[in-house]
A and B are shown apart, each in its own frame.
Chain A
């Protein structure tokens, strides 16, 4: 096997928005890479900065009130510094995106086929309409849309939510992207349809070797499809590692809390669920030091300083986290297995 090719390298990316109430630090220094052929899952609660992070890579958060710092290298080009014109060329071609709500990216007044053909021809003007039509049908079949030859003539509203999401994936595939960004692609779908869409994403990765960034809040989805995981909390990555690392040797108390509070279909978890107390901080005035401090049952003096995202595990240099606790201490604090999670299950609201 050859060494994996690094597709994307994000370094200390920061995004803030000036608002009437003050500056929102939506993304506060995140660093990660995506390799060809892998699925990187970004997980975290709503408002933690997942969407802003990935939309920024596509230039979709650019606006009067937005400020950016850091780099995102893709194909020898810094996506953060790139001009709008350069980004337009990359967007939809080398990097494609699938959103939670397909209707937000489909035009209701054009037929599905016409929209896929347009997508192909914008980036490959030499392709004839007839050729593009054949490719559109082929793409629709690939993502599991039955009777594709007839259904190219349908309008978006004639499709169910699941079928629209397949159309979005077909469009994303139209120009053979190297990197696919999927932001909560299955959140709005019924569970059986969600499983079908995840299957399509897996097939896409295996057949084309594309890298995928999957944004989700669902740890079941993560366990099902991710190779690596970045856990975000209040604008920062608090832990990063392989699927094994995160599920079976989690280092950050927030990750413990997430794993602990989920209900499982395969387990009868009688009694109280170990909920994370409180709620995420406002990004206008986040707490000093570790952002998780006000909710963390293990916080101590040092936590008012910001811990770096570094590995504290000699045996796992690729498994960094942002927590001051010594690894030994963590092992005694955290309960592993079915009981994984925070030791206390109190419900405190402030």
Chain B
């Protein structure tokens, strides 16, 4: 990473350099026991050495079972949680340890939208107040606050007259639109969306997904879109990352993840989702994984997925797999990759995004 001092004007990144660069980030939550003396007995390995990049205008989907660290990862990127180790660069600026002052412009450019619109909007504030707080941070003059708020509501498909309503006077889908409007109020570049449609009915999900799509095009936004299953992210993402127990299992251009999943865990996630088309659903073979994710305080040795993986061998139990980069920017952390030929394995390289604790064995078919 460049060591150049951050410029005040924040020029757009040079071609090729990512908007966001997450390097070997770990977040451990200490687990304490004892009521009188706090004794640290271990730690939840919520995010355990994850590296990924996001380009300007791109949507990265992040998928994995609940508890795998998705929320922790994006809250760390938003600097709402401190990384235990690793580094986060935004537009080339190291924000991992940035203080309040340095962080201010970044805070504005990086916004979050939460899963539960009900819980994330202050019930005692009218929509107008919810929107003017961030607008003031942007130093919008007093006399323009109302017109700006109205514009924001129109932008997200709500009536501008609804400025005087309280959050509870809206439906779930409308509240999620308010959450999006609040994020937009700061004129962000990057929006971190934490399961933004999981709590909504399918017909309303489609409305919100379409809205996010339109906004991205109109405002040149970049998104990280977190979801717990692989069907919604297919529609919205350019690239997709699959997480399991705090680790990155696979990351690839969106289409390739579905047509050519390399990691057995990705296949398991794909197989587990029933297809809403009875004929096609029946004609699939669906190898289901058994059991449940192990305890993140004592994650399995070697490959974290080995306790549930149908392809696991001895090496999986002892050596943490490196992240291997296959052609087309397709990365997977597995000793026994699927859907790749011997030649593809031959040509593959170890990615610098590999966890620092990973072994150096190349994958074998």
Chain A residues in the interface with B (C-beta under 8 A): 45-46, 160, 162-163, 190-196, 198-199, 217-224, 243-244, 247-248, 257-259, 261-269, 272-277, 279, 345, 347-350
Contacts and interface: CB of A to CB of B under 8 A. Distances in A.
A160 B203 contact: no
Contact of A276 (B171, B206, B231, B289): B206
B275 interface: yes
B258 A261 contact: no
B310 to A, nearest CB: 13
Nearest to B177: A349
Given A162-B292, A192-B289, A266-B280, A261 B206 contact: yes
Contacts of A277: 207
Given A192-B268, A194-B272, A264 B207 contact: no
Contacts of A163: 292
B277 A273 contact: no
The B contact surface, by secondary structure, is helix
Given A191-B269, A273-B235, 5 more contacts: A220-B276, A221-B274, A244-B278, A274-B206, A279-B174
Q: Sorted from nearest, which 4 A-B pairs have the closest CB atoms?
A: A275-B206, A224-B274, A261-B206, A220-B274
16 contacts: A45-B202, A191-B273, A192-B268, A192-B269, A192-B289, A220-B281, A223-B281, A261-B203, A263-B232, A264-B277, A265-B258, A268-B234, A272-B213, A273-B235, A347-B207, A349-B157
A190 B206 contact: no
A159 B290 CA distance: 16
Contacts of A220: 231, 273-276, 281
B275 A243 contact: no
Interface string B162-190: 00000000011110010000000000000
A223 B278 contact: yes
Contact of A279 (B204, B210, B211): B204
Nearest to A226: B278
Contact of B278 (A217, A243, A273, A274): A243
Interface residues of B, number: 50
Interface of B: 65-66, 157-159, 171-174, 177, 201-207, 209-211, 213, 228-232, 234-235, 255, 258, 268-281, 286, 288-290, 292-293
B278 to A, nearest CB: 5
A273 B232 CA distance: 11
A174 to B, nearest CB: 23
Contacts of A45: 201-204
A347 B229 contact: no
A199 B271 CA distance: 13
Contacts of A160: 292
Nearest to B255: A268
Contacts of B274: 195, 198, 218, 220-221, 223-224
Given A217-B201, A223-B277, A275-B203, A192 B231 contact: no
Contacts of A259: 276
Nearest to A276: B203
Contacts of B232: 263
Contact of A223 (B171, B229, B276, B289): B276
A216 B210 CA distance: 24
Contacts of A218: 274
Contacts of B211: 347
